[in-house]
Amino acid sequence: MITFYTAATPNGHKIAIALRELDLAHEVRKVDLDAGEQHHAPFADMSPNHKIPLLVDDGQAIFESGAILVHLADKAGQLLPRDGAARSAVLQWLFLQAAHIGPMLGQLWYFRHAAGTPNEQALQRYGNEARRLYGVVEAQLARHEWLAGDAYSIADIAAWPWLREHGTLGIPIADYPSVAAWLARIGTRPAVQAALAAQGQEGD
């Protein structure tokens, strides 16, 4: 049995979408981040970094959203090729999201919405980097229907919840038409809509 610990954040949305896309039965347990539940047992005992999402599958606790996505895709035999260049392509775009898209867009969101004191240097730095990353994704999607090529994969699932936040980040999505079309394609998928609705969110 899969138990999915989550909250309504982009990283939580990734796993919610994957579980629906892969049609894997699971139990959802909401973690109250505002109350600091992530820092206390039993959650903190299973997640060393005290972050959501967390998956427990047949007693095995798995933290970090990228690792969870790989685990689920391999378990179901979908959304991630078994081997070869196709698997490598998916993993490269998955790691780009984990190492760059998530952290940089997360910092931009923080300095736009949560920092107590305006910081123009931080806004410029993270704004420039966010636009650069949208450009990287735009160039790829101008050539391919999906991030890793011709097939929808966990790389798309990982990046979509972050890149859909362009409005709150002040990113002019009209400058990235291929990203906009990709966001719309994914946003209309029934599994994506069901996953967001279950977390109290709405699709684009």
Q: Which amino acid is at 131?
A: R
* pLDDT tens column, 22-44: 999 999 999 999 999 999 999 99
Domain range annotation of the chain? 2-78+193-198, 84-189
C-alpha span between 124 and 108 (Å, rounded)? 9
For the domain with range 84-189, which CATH number is right: 3.40.980.10, 1.10.10.10, 1.20.1050.10, 1.10.3720.10? 1.20.1050.10
* pLDDT tens column, 50-85: 999 999 999 999 999 999 999 999 999 999 999 999
Q: Does domain 2-78+193-198 have CATH number 3.40.50.700?
A: no
C-alpha span between 1 and 20 (Å, rounded)? 15
DSSP label at residue 4: E
Burial 122-160 (b: 16+ CB within 10 A, else e): ebeebbebbbebbeebbebbeeeebbbbebbbbbbbbbb
* pLDDT tens column, 133-171: 999 999 999 999 999 999 999 999 999 999 999 999 999
pLDDT surpassing 70 at residue 203: no
Q: Is residue 165 within 8 Å of residue 187, measured between CB atoms? A: no
In the numeric block, which tokens belong to residue 105?
């867009």
